[in-house]
Structure 1
Amino acid sequence: MNVIQQAFQVPFSFNIIFTQNLFSSENKAFINFLTNFGEPGFQKKILFLIDAGVAEKHQYLPESIKQYFQGQTQIDLADEILVLPGGELVKNDSQYLDKVLLAINQYGIDRHSFVAAIGGGAFLDMVGYASCIAHRGVKHIRIPTTVLSQNDSGVGVKNGVNFLGKKNFLGTFAPPVAVFNDSNFLTSLSDRDWRSGISEAVKVALIKDLPFFEWLETHAQAMANREMNVMNEQIFRSAALHTNHISSGDPFEMGSARPLDFGHWAAHKLEYLSNFEIRHGEAVAIGIALDSVYSELSGLISNEDSNRIIRLLKTLGFTLYHDSLAANDKLNLWEGLNEFREHLGGRLTITILEKLGKGKEIHEVDFDLVKLAVDRLKLTLD
């Protein structure tokens, strides 16, 4: 038997730039990045896609982008700026993936060129996936416009679409070449979308950083009151924790552990059961509360600790119970647990709390305790 063993490493590096009014003529951060990126001498092109919800609230945006690129000789802006739906619809309906791929082809976006997506997490997921499968990978830039995408999903390395009724069944691990977090987009968010993304900060604080959790407790009411300086600090600290975990651990999830999905096994199922009427961040808040109470019932954290978590989430404005949790004698949740097991390659690994600020991986779940935790969450409605 003859064997050729091959091994190589490919370094990945990208910056997350925090800014304001990204396409103002005075703000050179974006154009400087494009000009200086990659090998000199290549004529670069860029195709923009905008989440329809963002385009509606920021109607100046397409024209601002066109004016921003006027007079640029090294960067060709595609003639069309595509506006497509956001939210889970754009990940559920393959026509939108096809439209991005057709535009990449039509405007000659090659592997020296860029696809820039402006929108929420689901929109960035879909456009990123299209970029990764076109030409085996064209460069994509993320411009997140929600709290959740600026502090978590938009600064990571995952891209994907939903298929066969399963969330992110099709997807890739492929980092963007840059992320631009423009705080100006946050000003137009609804209260639900403003609040929704904070759940991911609570998640990462609970499993990794007790001082950050305590900071969230102290500033919860300020964030609920939409104080921008506090929200910006939360986003920066949350993004740093998420990216530090990715770079120091298992960025492409070769193993079975997914600690950053604390609270997510139930959340993913809840999104589907509610036909995505529940926002992802809202479902994550419920999932965090469920797994926190489960941690208490398992004897790992105290009742006082689980009450602190529930109090924080309620101060932020989250509702922590939905009828879908108890439907079908709670067997829908059991199905969600098995789907999560399948997503991880057959071995269940979920994160619960060993204490505030420290997660603990488990491979078996006592579903009777899960049912009791659901019953406890229903009491939070009182």
Structure 2
Amino acid sequence: MTHTVLQQAFSVHFQYKVCFTHGLFDPKNSLLADHLRSESPARIFVVLDQGLTEAHPDLISKLEEYFDTYKKDVLLCAAPMIVPGGEASKNDEDLVRQIVEATHLYGIDRHSYIMVIGGGAVLDMVGFAAAISHRGVRHIRIPTTVLSQNDSGVGVKNSINYFGKKNYIGTFATPYLVINDFDFLKTLDDRDWRSGLAEAIKVALIKDADFFQWLEKHALGLAQRAMEPMKDSIIRCAKMHLDHIAGKDPFEMGSSRPLDFGHWAAHKLENLTNFDLRHGEAVAIGIALDSTYSFLKGWIGEADIERILKLITDLGFDLFVPELTGDNLIKGLEEFREHLGGRLTIMLLKAVGKGEEVHEMDTNLIRKAIAYLESKHKITNLN
């Protein structure tokens, strides 16, 4: 039998900027407008995190004033859409439908923009809606939490939750532009301020021992909401995240997910706690678990695990929640394997600053690691 096979291969160049500023929507700050200028003004549709509008009740009026100032460059096509913050936005598929419908109602096309202002979950959901509208509407992210400014908001992933599973439906789509306004961090509650620091611990542990030492040095200031070290931490994390994306597998075609260190347990814990745990809080526990597993496996020493757990607690995180125990957590390994596409790949630690991937985990050792963390948690609470 004769076969005809046509081989196709091509590459696509992606490029976008991640900017850092203060007072983004002050009319005197032209940063956003400068990136939107063209021969004719484009239309923009804005989606806002409800928690942000409650913390900044004048935000909508500021947006309207800003876009009125720069109406020669960009046109605000409708009143901003307000959506629930946190995982509620990713658990409600109807919100995606409403955003897609808005592109139809307001004439948002591939030469227009969808801009989202909010935390990481809202950015994920709106990014997914933008990616599937017209096969991709230009998407602008304005992250407003530590977690979204230093990690999720600067990347190329968009998703919603489905079947009770984290990020089950989603796309890889690069944003058109990311702008981080540090002023939004001032109104975060303590949990959300702290939550994003889990991602800083993560990248430091797997990539940069010097950064881990820097976090140890500045832990007290970060925990007490000092802005300057927080800004330094965010920019440093964002750069490492971008450097990773620029590597050999930006759209994660393989099973390697080094930036998912601590996440297999975190994703399951979020679900088991009905998302009462913030993502960063769950990641901190997941990091503690996989670091302890690495210690019990003999890969890192006792001094290393003590440093890691101390940093986690110094920043205000718990090491343990009751949902960490039981077979339901172990089921998270299988779900993570499915999420990766069939082959389990877990990042563990060979040293502080050096990660090592494995393709299987000993469930008995996981249980021992959980027991170790539970005992450490009790000691910490007694003190």
Pair in the same fold by TM > 0.5: yes
Counterpart in the other structure of 1:307: 306
Structure 1 residue 342 and structure 2 residue 344: aligned? no
Distance 2:290 2:338 in 1: 19
Q: Of 47, 63, 66, which residue of structure 2 is paired with 1:65? A: 63
Q: Of 360, 367, 371, which residue of structure 2 is paired with 1:364? A: 360
Task: Report the alpha carbon displacement of residue 77 of structure 1 after superposing the two structures with TM.
Answer: 0.8
Counterpart in the other structure of 1:26: 28
SS at 1:248's partner residue? coil
Kindly provide the CA deviation profile for residues 214-256 of structure 1, in whole angstroms up to 9, marking residues without a partner as x: 0000000000010000100000001111110111231100111
| 1:42–1:112 Cα contact (<8 Å) kept | no
Distance 1:249 1:231 in 2: 29
Q: How many percent of aligned residue pairs carry the same amino acid?
A: 54
Kindly provide the CA deviation profile for residues 287-333 of structure 1, in whole angstroms up to 9, marking residues without a partner as x: 0000000000111000110110000000000011010111xxx2112
| 1:262–1:288 Cα contact (<8 Å) kept | yes
Kindly provide the CA deviation profile for residues 61-99 of structure 1, in whole angstroms up to 9, marking residues without a partner as x: 111111111152232111211111011011001121111
Counterpart in the other structure of 2:82: 83
| 2:124–2:160 Cα contact (<8 Å) kept | yes
Distance 1:343 1:379 in 2: 31
Distance 1:242 1:179 in 2: 13
| 2:19–2:180 Cα contact (<8 Å) kept | yes
Task: Report the alpha carbon displacement of residue 104 of structure 1 after superposing the two structures with TM.
Answer: 1.6
| 1:44–1:74 Cα contact (<8 Å) kept | yes
Counterpart in the other structure of 1:157: 156
Kindly provide the CA deviation profile for residues 17-66 of structure 1, in whole angstroms up to 9, marking residues without a partner as x: 0000100011010000111xxxx545411011100000110111111111
Counterpart in the other structure of 1:46: 44
Which stretches of structure 1, 4 residues or longer, exceed 6 Å deviation after superposition?
none
SS at 2:35's partner residue? helix
Distance 2:248 2:177 in 1: 20
| 1:294–1:373 Cα contact (<8 Å) kept | yes
* Code of the aligned partner of 1:352: L
Distance 2:74 2:173 in 1: 23
Q: Of 9, 13, 16, which residue of structure 2 is paired with 1:14? A: 16
Task: Report the alpha carbon displacement of residue 100 of structure 1 after superposing the two structures with TM.
Answer: 1.1
* Code of the aligned partner of 2:63: I
| 2:50–2:84 Cα contact (<8 Å) kept | yes
Counterpart in the other structure of 1:226: 225
Task: Report the alpha carbon displacement of residue 337 of structure 1 after superposing the two structures with TM.
Answer: 0.4
| 2:208–2:354 Cα contact (<8 Å) kept | yes
TM-score, normalised to structure 2, is 0.97
Q: Of 329, 333, 348, which residue of structure 2 is paired with 1:333? A: 329
* Code of the aligned partner of 2:345: T
* Code of the aligned partner of 2:43: K
More off after superposition, 207-216 vs 372-381: 372-381
Distance 2:368 2:91 in 1: 33
Superposed CA RMSD in Å reads 0.9
Counterpart in the other structure of 1:376: 372
- How many matched pairs? 375
TM-score, normalised to structure 1, is 0.97
Distance 1:59 1:99 in 2: 23
Gap regions ≥5 residues in structure 1: none
Task: Report the alpha carbon displacement of residue 380 of structure 1 after superposing the two structures with TM.
Answer: 2.1
Kindly provide the CA deviation profile for residues 82-132 of structure 1, in whole angstroms up to 9, marking residues without a partner as x: 111011011001121111111121111100010000000000000000000
Distance 2:74 2:151 in 1: 29
More off after superposition, 64-73 vs 188-197: 64-73
| 1:157–1:174 Cα contact (<8 Å) kept | yes
Task: Report the alpha carbon displacement of residue 2 of structure 1 after superposing the two structures with TM.
Answer: 1.2
Distance 1:346 1:340 in 2: 9
* Code of the aligned partner of 1:196: S
Gap regions ≥5 residues in structure 2: none
SS at 2:142's partner residue? strand
Q: Of 3, 6, 31, which residue of structure 1 is paired with 2:5? A: 3
Distance 1:156 1:70 in 2: 30
